[in-house]
Amino acid sequence: MRINVTRSALPPKEEYFEEIAFLWDSRWLTNMGEKHQTLERMLQEYFNAPNVTLFTNGHLALEGALAAFGLTGEVITTPFTFASTTHAIIRCGCKPVFCDVDPETYTLDPAKIEALITPETSAIVPVHVYGTLCDVEAIETVAKKHGLKVIYDAAHAFGVRKDGVSAACFGDASMFSFHATKVFHTVEGGCVVYREEALKHVLDRGKNFGIEGEDILSPEPNAKMSEFHAAMGICNLRRIELMIAMRKQVVERYRYNLAGVSGLTLLKEQPGVASNYAYFPVVFDGAKYTRDEAAARLGEEGIYARKYFYPLTNHCTAYGFRGDETPVAKRVSDHVLCLPLYPELAMEDVDRICEIIT
Ligand SMILES: *Cc1c(COP(=O)(O)O)cnc(C)c1O
């Protein structure tokens, strides 16, 4: 049987059907109905964060957040991410300025931020890659000193906590993606979590054509989450802790099998951080064969690992950057492979994958 890098979790059919049954009576299918309101409340509780606004996907949530803060000029960010992060900055009319990453965590290197700040800089958009938390304290220190906003792309970090505090609670705002491939999903979906309550109506307007009362204040997109998607989120949130615990077992098995294998670098565990075990990246550096050879060999066995994140976004044709300003990120991107990881992945399959690799 084919093994993909991920496999979407689903609740029991009956539970989902029960959750959506009353929509046949209410006929309130979208536009911030009861399921939408319930999921926003449940997420506020789950994150222990004051404000949550749902979106139709993570990407539009990130664009919504950047727009809500009225960012202009330059935004310091990482190229070691999915294109969505860079797209959002550019589509909001800003210029991404690429900062290199830390060689161990693959997240924005705070020591390299300050040299990139100019009078045009308005914000920092770091990414909690693979669910590994950025150095949130160091980033906050730089941001405070220079009066910059910090908006996290937390698409990978659902369920991650540092000393009990949710990843959602750092910076001015965080975007989460609820895409089907993510640790928690609503099929398609996303949200923004933020400190300032005053942003609520800006974000609500920003996902609904800019409508305010009978007027339209700005030409915004439609980025609302439907009741069917919110209902999926309600069901999935009920068993998120179990899903993360099952992922943890898979990751522990990988670690047990691959620890100490020469030429393979595994992601470090972060002290004080409860991981969500979202991805299992392996860096092939000096191993018997290259990352691409390993991926091809796994493919012959019907096992589809993925090169997250390759290419770097500062190498994508879309933006026209030269991309040589981030050598550490380049090195990771050229050697990293994410192995299959999902709650029901069988231990025998993990062992088989490891055998092929070693
Ligand atoms: C998935 C993802 C996004 C985009 O989220 P969607 O819900 O797919 O729009 C943005 N950034 C990162 C790092 C992601 O992995």
222-273 confidence digits (pLDDT tens): 999 999 999 999 999 999 999 999 999 999 999 999 999 999 999 999 999 9
Distance in angstroms (rounded) separating the CA atoms of residues 157 and 175: 9
Instruction: Measure 287 CA to ligand 1 centroid, in angstroms.
Output: 30
The model's pTM:
0.97
Distance in angstroms (rounded) separating the CA atoms of residues 225 and 263: 44
Take atom 6 of ligand 1 and give the residue whose Cα is closest: 58
Most informative mutation of 84, 86, 160, 316 for ligand 1 (most atoms within 8 A of CB):
84
pLDDT recorded at residue 139: 98
Task: Pick out the chain residues at pLDDT < 50.
Answer: none
pLDDT recorded at residue 323: 83
Instruction: Measure 74 CA to ligand 1 centroid, in angstroms.
Output: 21
pLDDT recorded at residue 322: 80
Cα distances (angstroms) measured from residue 315 to each of 90, 153, 327: 15, 20, 12
Instruction: Measure 130 CA to ligand 1 centroid, in angstroms.
Output: 12
pLDDT recorded at residue 287: 81
Instruction: Measure 233 CA to ligand 1 centroid, in angstroms.
Output: 16
Q: Is 153 in the pocket of ligand 1 (CB under 6 A)?
A: yes
Q: Is 155 in the pocket of ligand 1 (CB under 6 A)?
A: yes
Most informative mutation of 8, 176, 179, 183 for ligand 1 (most atoms within 8 A of CB):
179
pLDDT recorded at residue 224: 98
In ligand 1, the atom with minimum distance to the C-alpha of 59 is 9
Q: Is 177 in the pocket of ligand 1 (CB under 6 A)?
A: yes
In ligand 1, the atom with minimum distance to the C-alpha of 178 is 7
pLDDT recorded at residue 286: 85
Instruction: Measure 310 CA to ligand 1 centroid, in angstroms.
Output: 15
Q: Is 161 in the pocket of ligand 1 (CB under 6 A)?
A: no
pLDDT recorded at residue 300: 97
The answer to whether 198 touches 154, Cβ cutoff 8 Å, is no
pLDDT recorded at residue 320: 85
Q: Is 59 in the pocket of ligand 1 (CB under 6 A)?
A: yes
pLDDT recorded at residue 1: 83
